[in-house]
Structure 1
Amino acid sequence: MKSLLLLVSFFFLQFSFAQEITPKLDRTTIKIGEPIQYEVKIDYKEGDKIVFPTISDSLNYHIEVLGKKLDTIKTDGKSEIVQHLQLTGYDVGKFSIPSLSIQKNGENLTTKKLEIEIQDIAVDTTKNAIFPIKPVMEEEYSIGDYWNKYWLYGIIALILFIIAIVLVVLYIRAKSKLSGKDLYKTPYDEAKTSLKALDAKKYLKRGEQKEYYTQLSFIVRRYLGRVYNFSALEILSDDLVKYISTKQDILPEDIQKFKQFLYDADLVKFAKQQFDDSTNNIYRNWIEEFVERTKPLEIPENADLKKDIVTGEKYKQFNNN
């Protein structure tokens, strides 16, 4: 019986360790504002789906992020994806670097918390003598003296200032005209135009899948954001899927396909995953079909039907039959 209990305990211990990834710091003590290197490695093989968390400019109130990048390392036939973070802090004390959650093939793996100590910088006042405040000095030059000496520079500066104002005014007017044109473009028209522009750039023929999937994700996110009036470009992939899952006019199979597309797009952008032409074409064609299925139909002229209070566009229903 004891052997059986030991065996079960060993199994659960192994399972618990398997859910945790050990991060690494190059040192645990720094001065205020001094950078420190933090990295997390995860094993990777072809076909794995790995999603790293989105890192902002800080991990918590005390730990700032100075830089970040993802690398793929291959050694002795083993592949690893490494998340590099350059961190620092500006408060004195001991602080924890929070756990990071990494998703591998649908399973959440969590890193351990690490602790760093941030020390103050000692100032040696014996080597930095303090001198009394100097008295106010008398003015040596009058305004007239400065004008006589620098009048040419003043005129040149005035001319450049006038030119700068003219350029700013022209830029604002041109931007206003472009904004006015885009204001009346529907989400459907914008999405269709953007897809054609993406095809014309021929990223896939040049093997630039990262740029291709970045722009393809942007197009479908912006389309959904404009149709449903929310910030689709600023939320995480999982939150975006949850949000559109609440919309009755989007088909369940489209929600599943959209979720798979976002995961694969993140792999291409952050883990350097490469897909074959067939997969690329499937995603490209599905997004265009998805836009067609969720295209709002225009309201006919009717005094009883009102415009959308947010966009001002005239829509009545979704064509997802």
Structure 2
Amino acid sequence: MKNLLLLVSLFIFQFSFAQEIVPKLDRSTIKIGEPIQYTVKVDYKEGDKIIFPSITDSLNHHIEVLDHKLDTVNTDGKSEIVQHLELTGYDAGKFTIPSLSIQKNGQDFKTKQLEIDIQDIAVDTTKNAIFPIKPVMEEEYTMHDYWNKYWIYGVVALVLFLLAIVLIVLFIRGKSKFSNKNAYKTPYDEAKASLKTLDAKKYLKRGEQKEYYTQLSFIVRRYLGRVYHFSALEILSDDLVKFVALKPDILPEDVQKFKQFLFDADLVKFAKQQFDDSTNEAHRKWVDEFVEHVKPLEIPENEDLKTDQVTGEKYKQFNNN
């Protein structure tokens, strides 16, 4: 008896909930591709947990989903959740909309299956003449079409062109520097040309003493380094003076003037010292004289004489006159 009552209660519950789920079509007959509206209404009250099925792009092989959404409707104190489906089909015939599984408060229930009739579209060939399929017509290309199709080649060509220009410029500059570097056969020729270039820049007239003394001291250091074959550019001023003082071919008075010149040049470069015109002219004149004093004498080639490993020149002595 208890089992019978339980069965009857379950049937009544299922029937009452089924009354709460109402699937509906706005019409049952459509043409191929024509949309049809399908709705499912579920009654609910506060605290109910209702889960609708996940809708994909089709319900079966013949019925496709164009759109879907959920709405909440309150009418005369009654609350409903409405699922809207916009359906269509592209095959003629009668097809069944499958049941949708809806869960309410942990219980699974299914909607009633509905049937739709999808009819083919009749074509009146007497009114609408049927023509043979036209061949593919070629369309003339515009500049825009060519750009869309071949723009990548244009970009690559432009990059290669710019790269070629950069390489040519670097090659020309490198060749020019190499030529200039080897244009002077002797350290003396290089020093004299560098001094002439320095004078042409007119740093002193513009008040740029730091740049002037930087380049002037560089010329003297490089000249000594090439003549005596040591790294004159990389040692301190005091060490350079000590090195020069050990050379018997350099006059003591030149050593003292060289020491003062380096000291003054360092003051300008590092302490922002500014000298008057007479001091600047005196230093410039002394550098010219110093270059002349240290200038080596060129002599005819002789295997018994020492050879300059940098320039290939052969020296016998230094002219201090």
TM-score by length of 1: 0.49
Structure of greater Rg: 2
Which one scores higher on RCO, CA 8 angstroms, separation ≥ 6? 1
TM-score by length of 2: 0.49
